Amino acid sequence: MTSVPQVALAPGEIDSILAVRYRFDGLEAIEHALQDTQALPGSDSQILQRLRARIVATWGVHDHVVVRNLPSCSDGTTGLVLASLCFANLKRYRGGKIVKHFRMSPWTKALSHTLASGFFHTDLNTAEHPPAATAMQCLEADPGAPDYGQLRVARVCDLIERLRQRDSTVADFLLQERVTMVNEISPKGWEGSMVGEGLIRFHPESLLAAQRHFGKNPPTLEQHLAAIHQAAIEVSEPINLEPGEMLLVSNRRALHQRGACTVRFREFPSVFESRRVSVFHAYEEPA
């Protein structure tokens, strides 16, 4: 197990990120500008291009990288500046939005907002063209940090090696089994191999949903998923992000997971502090 791969911004790099960010009024203005260009004004400076090269080099070795000392923001503006620097093809959502915001809540079971610990997974795993990378920026840390709100990344190569050591049938399930997944993108079910064509499609909840609703997937599914989760924990390390900091992770060669979260009530039941993040997806890896 290795330490968390990271790139820490130097003072000059911080200033350069902020200089690009403050060319625009806010998040929507940056998103709008990126409709017409892949490079924001000022992002071609030598300082930022050297920063990009450092991130790309770390990514190339580890399939993920934590970016430290990125200036904090309330809406993901500095994260979008960095993401546009690193990724050539950012995914757009309805209304031309690039940034999605998530806030943890004690009153929901939605996977992206619940306080419960999540599964190791890849994002948009049943889409026709899943993104190549995911970027997450911390907007507000979990009130229980650093023990809560942690992230983890398990590289598929490390995961498979650990599974081979334990039980090769679980590795074979992940690498060879044809499965069905059900989620909001594919309510009628997506079928195929989880690993292949240069990517991995994996989400335990989607696999379990297909088993519950359609009777698909092997009867040993839950045991296989438990073994994969345990192996992923063993080959990963907890990652804590301070406000502003980002995790960039491959959606093709790694699984990522968010641990349990907490809330701090200011006025029960509706006013509380909780973890907030912005999320970006890209169709190309940094290179």
1 or 121, greater pLDDT: 121
Q: What is the pLDDT of residue 15?
A: 98
24 — pLDDT class (breaks 50, 70, 90): very high
- Reported as a single tens digit per residue, the pLDDT across 175-219 is 999 999 998 888 888 999 999 889 999 999 999 999 999 999 999
Q: What is the largest distance, in Å, between two alpha-carbon atoms of the chain? A: 57
Q: What is the pLDDT of residue 236?
A: 98
Residue 91 falls inside a structural domain? yes
* Domain co-membership, 210 together with 182: yes
Helix axes 11-21, 46-62, angle to 10 degrees: 110
* Pair 72, 127 in one domain: yes
Q: At 36, is the pLDDT very low, low, confident or very high (cuts 50, 70, 90)?
A: confident
Whether 134 and 225 share a structural domain: no
Model confidence at 79: pLDDT above 70: yes
Asked, for residue 134, whether it belongs to a domain, the answer is yes
Residue 181 lies in a domain: yes
Based on the fold, state whether residues 138 and 225 are members of the same structural domain.
Answer: no
Distance CA 286, CA 274 (A): 31
Q: How many CB atoms are closer than 10 A to CB 107?
A: 12
42 within some domain: yes
pLDDT band at 240 (very low <50, low <70, confident <90, very high): very high
Say whether both 32 and 92 belong to one domain: yes
Domain residue limits at 249:
6-154+238-282
What's the pLDDT at 1? 42
The fraction of the chain above a pLDDT of 90, given in percent, is: 89
Domain shared by 129 and 15, yes or no: yes
Tell me the pLDDT band of 251, cut-offs 50, 70 and 90: very high
Does 287 fall in a domain? no
More confidently predicted of 185 and 257: 257
Closest CA to 65 of 255, 250, 276, 253: 250
Domain boundary among 233, 248, 269: 233
Does one domain contain both 208 and 100? no
Q: What is the pLDDT of residue 184?
A: 83
**Euclidean distance between CA atoms 236 and 147, whole angstroms:** 16
Residues 113 and 37 in one domain: yes
What would the pLDDT profile of 122-172 be if each residue is shown by its tens digit? 999 999 899 999 999 999 999 999 999 999 999 999 999 999 999 999 999
Residue 1 lies inside a defined structural domain of this protein: no
The enclosing domain of 89 has a CATH number of 3.60.130.10
Is 97 a domain residue?
A: yes
Q: Give the global pTM.
A: 0.95
Strands 6-8 and 64-68: parallel
Are 206 and 119 in a shared domain? no
The mean pLDDT value of the chain amounts to: 95
How many domains is the chain partitioned into structurally?
2
